[in-house]
Amino acid sequence: MKDNTPTPSGRLNPRLDPAAGPALDPAEDTDEPAFEWMKPATAARAAEGQGAAGTAAGPAPAAGSTAAAGSDAAQPESRADRKAAEAAAAGNAETDPNAEPGLRAPAGPGAAPGRNAEARQPARSSAVGTHYSEPLPTSALQIRPPQEEVERRNAEREQAARAKPVLPRFFQVLLAIFYPVILLVLAVRAVTSPLFLWVEYHRPGFPGDGYGFNADDRMTYGSYAVDYLGNWSGPRYLGELVNRSGEKLFKDGEVSHMADVKLVFLSAFGAGALLVLISIIAIIYLRRRTPGGVRRGLFAGSIVTLVLIIGLGTLAALGWQQFFTEFHRIFFAAGSWTFALEDTLIRLFPGQFWIDAGLVIAALVLITAVVTLILTWPTRRRRGLAPARKARKDEDADGSDVNDDADDAPETGTGTARPVNL
């Protein structure tokens, strides 16, 4: 079959034009389309990439390409063929399930089947490297404040760094103040118990009753009086008691005084319970917020307790009768706490009883304060400081210091120092 299609006017025949290069051999013709618009989309993108590379390398148009462009522009019928080829390529891309999503034709009645494949591809942009430059400092930042202002700011900064929070110190002070009061209340509560009564009435040397009470009578009647101080009963609890002869055991003045004593005791026990509750809250707070805060508070409280108990013990030792009288004047009205020797309160609780009670209270408070002082003594370990010997070893390990003991130790053949047991 021969191609008798005449060559249009204005179009050079590549077989006859010597400037177009060697003549095309039909035998060497391949399946590659003759024009770019007839190539598949993948091949078109590859050709675009090669064309971009050629443009970057430098334009070098050939005479043949110029002639081909001129001949392509000179064929008006090639536009219809181009549109038909584009429509066919779009149809194939739409029906092919393996085709790339960007190559498929848009669905819908308003979609243009002949649109170029490159128009359906997402826009690609290459990141352009930008050089970051720090903004120039302003003139205000370059102005140094006066030296006095700098020193003032530094002093305030150091003072703020050295300042301690107020609330932990406040709880430590409260703990130090409450501790001796709590110890005193607990000691008094230990004395006002049936156990202390039994020990007192049965200990050797305790004065007997010259009006007929033996140890069992004292233990029975004295237990009523002690129980009355700790319960919520009224004055009838003691006012209706009778002795063996059927007479009232306590007179009205004695019952009234015991009611006053009960009010003082219950107030002291209530205040002690409140102080214990506040101290527990302070201990919990200090344990969570301030390491060593509980220890410092109890240490200060034990010192305060020792000072108070030594001072009060000295006053009591110098004049017990005067100390006892002044103590009663503080809490009771004048004349309401003095009784005759034959009254029941004096027979149950003579003067020796109060001396022994004072000694027991002072001993309990003193022993507890000393134990607390020993347990909270601020040693280097409790203060979080390493021992001096350990610190020297650490410095030797770091190479920052030399152990002085190593100079006095004898050297062995290997050059190492061994300790000497003296």
For the ranges 38-42, 228-232, 276-280, the lowest mean pLDDT is seen at: 38-42
Lowest mean pLDDT among 36-40, 91-95, 124-128: 124-128
Burial bucket for residue 109 (CB in 10 Å: 0-12, 13-18, 19+): exposed
Q: Which two tokens stand for residue 315?
A: 């006053």
Angle 293-318/252-289 helices, nearest 10 degrees? 150
pLDDT higher than 70, residue 135: no
Phi, psi (deg, nearest 5) at residue 354? -70, -30
E strands, 232-297, are none
For residue 185, the model assigns a pLDDT of: 95
Task: Give the span between the Cα atoms of 216 and 227, in whole angstroms.
Answer: 16
**pTM for the predicted model, two decimal places:** 0.55
Instruction: Return the pLDDT at 397.
Output: 52
Both tokens assigned to 206:
């305790």
Q: How far is CA 413 from CA 404, 410, 418, in A?
A: 20, 10, 11
Radius of gyration of the CA atoms of the chain, in A:
55
Give the mean pLDDT of the chain: 73
Asked if residues 342 and 211 have their Cβ atoms less than 8 Å apart, the reply is yes
Length of the chain equals 422
Has residue 349 got a pLDDT over 80? yes
Structure tokens at 205: 């040397």
- The percentage of residues in the chain with a pLDDT greater than 90, rounded to a whole number, is 41
What is the rounded distance in angstroms from the CA atom of residue 49 to the CA atom of residue 55? 10
pLDDT recorded at residue 391: 52
| Least reliable range by pLDDT among 14-28, 105-119, 257-271, 388-402 | 105-119
Structural domain spans, the chain: 166-375
Percent of the chain with pLDDT over 70: 57
Q: Helix or strand or coil: residue 322?
A: helix
Q: Say yes or no to pLDDT of 415 above 80.
A: no
pLDDT at 330 over 50: yes
Instruction: Write the DSSP string, 160-209.
Output: HHH---HHHHHHHHHHHHHHHHHHHHHHHHHHSSHHHHHHHHHSTT----
* Of residues 322 and 56, more confidently modeled: 322
- Choice between 159 and 11, residue whose per-residue pLDDT is larger: 159
